[in-house]
Amino acid sequence: MTSEKFIRNKTALVTLIAASAVVLISLGVRQTFGMFFMDFKDDLGISLTQSGLSIGLQMLMWGLTGPIFGAIADKHGGHKAIFLAFLFFIAGVYFLYAGPNTGIFFQIDMGILIGIGLGGTAISIPMSIVGKHFPLSNRTIAMSIVTAVGSFGYFLSPLLTEYSLTENGWQNTLFAFLIALLIGLVFAFFVRSPSLEQSIEKPNNQGTLEALKEAFGTKSYLLLLSGFFVCGFHITLVGTHVPTYVIDRGLESWTAAAILSLIGLFNIFGSLLSGYLSSKMSKKIILSVIYSLRGISIILFIFLPASNINAFIFGASFGFLWLSTVPATSGIVAHIFGTKYLGLLYGIVFLSHQVGSFFGAYLGGLFHDIYGSYDYAWYLAIALSVFAAIIHLPIREESVLRLRTE
């Protein structure tokens, strides 16, 4: 009911604040790794293909471990899952900072350890815990707040990172990241799953395997998996390779930082609007429109003349669409299946997202090294926009029979 209190209890409020802080720190650190590529190339001998592979591996590990951390959060509490993930995140950044950090160790540090850390600290797990505290009427709004605060990390971190890389070098910048991650470790303790008394969902005896069987037997869930693959491809291609792309087109490195910051700034508004609209209208239509507009934004960016103005327009427009898919996508999962296994089921959807992220990161670097430009990567991104816009339309936004008969 729309008359329900937005904040139902103190635990819900503290969890919302702490989860937002966790996502702000985690996504803020993760967003800037593409800005280190030239330093890694000069000081560590890491090629663009190797850097792209490490980010692709990072995205893949993020996705593969998301369902695991989701299952831990669903069973043992969100704070335990997030705390454990932060330990991996901190280890990855520390070894990247202090070594060993070349050759295979670079892939382990940047790809595997940081990827595992993101699996439990980035958007999916904290947001799914928040979703357990809020009813259907305002769940997507609460989730969009977490996404929007995380977007502020996207906005602030590139600016601070560009300044720190220029003034202090890449190693001192990574040390600053370590301090931020330790702060996130503290916030992890306060991301609490609701107790049985606080739970908004009726108790049920459904087991994990039954929940997975139900999900994979639902066509709409499979369509969401396919669509979120495209989201991952888009944002990782842009976040990882735009810094190199704008330099290739004759623009300055600060333009790349400005694009990433604009993405973060405008994603705040896009995420909040998406969360609000998702509580008022069809979520699948919102998703279809978002993917269509992403394709248009990319087309204008790559075919218009290279200039700071056009770059800033792209950063603002694509940023508005950046994580605006998340409240609607997670909202559909919670609506169809309930919240008991939301961490696990959304974690699997996010795995599809991260498989797309792997290809966005790796193919971007590979195409650039083979053909000397990112053109084919952008063309593929546009084609995937069309695919995603279509694939969401057949989704049925209704609860499974199990929930309708309870």
- Interval 317-370: pLDDT, tens: 999 998 889 888 988 988 888 877 887 888 889 889 888 988 988 888 889 888
By C-alpha distance, which of 128, 129, 123 is closest to 193?
129
Q: How far apart are CA 305 and CA 19, in angstroms?
A: 41
Query: What's residue 1's pLDDT?
Result: 39
By C-alpha distance, which of 16, 3, 275 is closest to 132?
16
Pick the range with the lowest mean pLDDT from 89-103, 200-214, 261-275, 325-339. 200-214
Asked whether the beta carbons of 228 and 353 are under 8 A apart, the reply is yes
Contacts of 99 (CB under 8 A, 6+ apart): 105
> Residue 243, preceding bond cis, omega within 30 degrees?
no
- Packed helices 253-278 and 139-168: angle between N→C axes, nearest 10 degrees: 170
pLDDT digits (tens, 9 = 90+) for 248-263: 888 887 888 888 888 8
Residue 46 φ/ψ region, left for φ over 0, alpha for ψ in the -120 to 50 degree band, beta for the rest: beta
Query: What's residue 179's pLDDT?
Result: 96
Please give the domain boundaries of the chain with CATH numbers for all domains: 13-195+207-404 (1.20.1250.20)
Given a cut of 80, whether residue 215 has pLDDT beyond it is yes
Query: What's residue 406's pLDDT?
Result: 56
Asked whether the beta carbons of 240 and 55 are under 8 A apart, the reply is yes
DSSP 109: I
To the question of pTM greater than 0.85 for the whole model, the response is: no
Question: 134 phi and psi, to 5 degrees?
Answer: -125, 140
Q: How far apart are CA 153 and CA 189, in angstroms?
A: 20
Given a cut of 60, whether residue 273 has pLDDT beyond it is yes
Asked whether the beta carbons of 29 and 157 are under 8 A apart, the reply is yes
